[in-house]
Amino acid sequence: MAFGGFEQRGGGQPMAEINTTPLVDVMLVLLVIFIITAPLISHSIKLDLPNAQAPATATKPETITLSIDPSGTLFWNEDRLASDEQLVERLSAAAAVKPQPELHLRADRNTRYQRIAEVMSNAQSAGITKIGFVTEPTRTR
């Protein structure tokens, strides 16, 4: 093998041989890495999973719209509620229905958060599990 140096012999001819040692070193390192990682890539766990076909639900759950105006007055599907007791009664009745209806909560932007939290607490106490918040998207100019 010819190793390059600083001394010039024989008329300044460039070295004509290619040093392949670094190439072989890199290829051997890559080969070792692939040998180690190949079993990990192809490793799989055999599972005998059950086959089940779930029937599609034929009935969509009812949607209840509960609106709150800025003064805190409640509206159940556009029917005004006189008191919180009436709200609790309707929420309890709705929670007992199968499938349970979804509660869509609409509140004016000027409604106090305390009032919204009370309504959410009443819904949770009654057993309502699906509560959604209805908002209006902001308009960009």
- What is the per-residue pLDDT for 4? 59
How does pLDDT run along the chain (141 residues), one tens digit per residue? 555 556 655 566 777 788 889 999 999 999 999 898 887 776 666 766 667 676 766 677 789 999 998 888 999 988 899 888 999 999 999 999 888 899 999 988 888 889 999 999 999 999 998 898 888 876 666
Report how far apart, in Å, the C-alpha atoms of 15 and of each of 9, 20, 22, 106, 116 are.
11, 14, 17, 83, 84
CATH topology of domain 63-134: Nucleotidyltransferase; domain 5 (3.30.420)
- What is the per-residue pLDDT for 31? 95
| Sign of the C-alpha dihedral computed for residues 129, 130, 134 and 138 taken in this order | positive
- What is the per-residue pLDDT for 53? 75
- What is the per-residue pLDDT for 80? 92
Residue 62 neighbours by CB distance under 10 Å: 13
